[in-house]
Amino acid sequence: MADDEEHAGAETRIAAIFAMIREHDASDETAMSDAQVAAAISALIAAAAAHGTTTTITGIVGSILDDYDEFRKLGSGSAGVVTKARHRATGKTVALKSLHGYSGGTVRDLLREACFMVGCPAHPSLVTLHGMARTESTNDYCLVMDYVDGPTLHDCIRMGHRRRPFPEAHARRVMRQLLSAAAHMHQHGVIHRDIKPENILVDDDHRVVKICDFGSALYCTHDAEECYYAAGTRPYSAPEMLLEKPGGYDALVDTWSLGCVMAELLTGEVLFDGGCDSDTLYEIFDLLGVPGKRAWKPYEASFVAHKVPLWRREQQRRRRHCNRLGELFPEELLSRDGFQVLKGLLTCDPSKRLPAAAALQLPWFAAHDDSCEASFGSS
């Protein structure tokens, strides 16, 4: 009961921040005032306290220039850049995420991302938020987060120009952690919407993975209108997201993404790599089967509606079995139990797709993988 009350208290405070952001978006003001930002950060601190994680959120930690030594850029994307830094007073090494000036992002975007991170209280496979900091000279803000001393999962798979598939036992250890993190997010109403190897950090000894970058995330309860639009990265996007499903999509878009990650771990190759949404959908349906007329009915007004009957007839002409996933993942590559997980995640119909928590209950995850305890990324 106490945990439920704490969760409800945190949700109330996070909802207040979203309401503040929406109210500001509806106004003619171009930037949030210092007072508005301070109020939002105070609400974040209170939400963290309600979750019992007061030690991980400290509000405005201080001026980046005065309080941090920045070492090197860790990575960058279309919206922001992440830098390794050290907090001088505590000696703690952290990662700082700031926004590109040309991206159009504002402190509101950082506050939204902070909400998602606070809304998913500490999980070992999710990057933790420690606070927000600002520069005194420009009044720009950044997120202060866990620093993970290792590569991304993409780097581990690729190893330069050489693809590097993971053995099944190693893939299972990674997927157990990722599905646990996804189940935790979904339990707290957060949909990540951009799970991919580039957004999965691997610690230096290759034992722990952490999902990062909540910049595309949404809350089912506060962002219902956004559940109709595509987001994230195309090769890892679920069909219902690419098709902008009428009525919206839900957290099962994340489990589809995890299915794509699992396939990539085992083969070293991106499973669906179409150059546009239409090409990607064709690749999905070519491998997993074109939906039947009843399953396709909700999408009859979609941008590929005129192509689907042609794809269906072409598939019927070429072969008897529409789903060819088993051809790509024979038992020499993936056990029957492992294939049960993969097939459950990569199911086009979201009503039949495995939720993260349910996937973790399947027999494949009964193994402890003690033989690869030292490192799942080593040769």
Q: Tell me which residues are annotated as active site.
A: 194
Using an 8 Å Cβ cutoff, are 218 and 232 in contact? Answer: no
Q: Given the structure tokens 């496979």, which residue do they identify?
A: 125
Distance of alpha carbon 48 from alpha carbon 57, whole angstroms: 7
Burial of 306 (0-12, 13-18, 19+ CB in 10 A): exposed
Using an 8 Å Cβ cutoff, are 324 and 334 in contact? Answer: no
Per the structure block, which two tokens stand in for 267? 């083969």
Using an 8 Å Cβ cutoff, are 355 and 255 in contact? Answer: yes
For 241, other C-beta atoms within 10 Å of its C-beta total 25
Pairing relationship of beta strands 129-134 and 60-63 according to DSSP bridges: parallel
Using an 8 Å Cβ cutoff, are 18 and 115 in contact? Answer: yes
